[in-house]
Amino acid sequence: KAVLELLSDFPAADIVISSFNYGLLAKLRAENEGLPLAVLFEGSRWNKSLAFADELKARSFHPQVDTVSRPMVLRCHDLGLPVYPWTVDNPHIVRKMQRIG
């Protein structure tokens, strides 16, 4: 609750809370419907995490860069979710992500 109070001092456009802890994200959503949340993901089975992001009304989906695929990106875009992979620190990988979408 203290974190939520602190975050209320900032414009929602300036923050996003992303986490692997889906239970925490659900609790945060229950506390504040307008809080900008994002789902972090790593692994190979992204469908369940993406469904959770959609149900959560997440602002975006944050997969590990090695897990990003064209089908994942297309599904995210179908749901209106921007995709922000982590961690992209190589120009070759940046170009690959741009090609994927």
pLDDT tens readout for residues 20-48: 999 999 999 998 898 999 999 998 899 99
Query: Domains of the chain, with CATH numbers?
Result: 2-100 (3.20.20.190)
| Tokens coding 26 | 């659900």
Tens of pLDDT, residue by residue over 75-98, are 999 999 999 999 899 999 999 999
The token pair at 11 is 């414009």
Residue 32, helix vs strand vs coil = coil
Q: 57, 29 in Cβ contact below 8 A? A: yes
Distance CA 9, CA 89 (A): 31
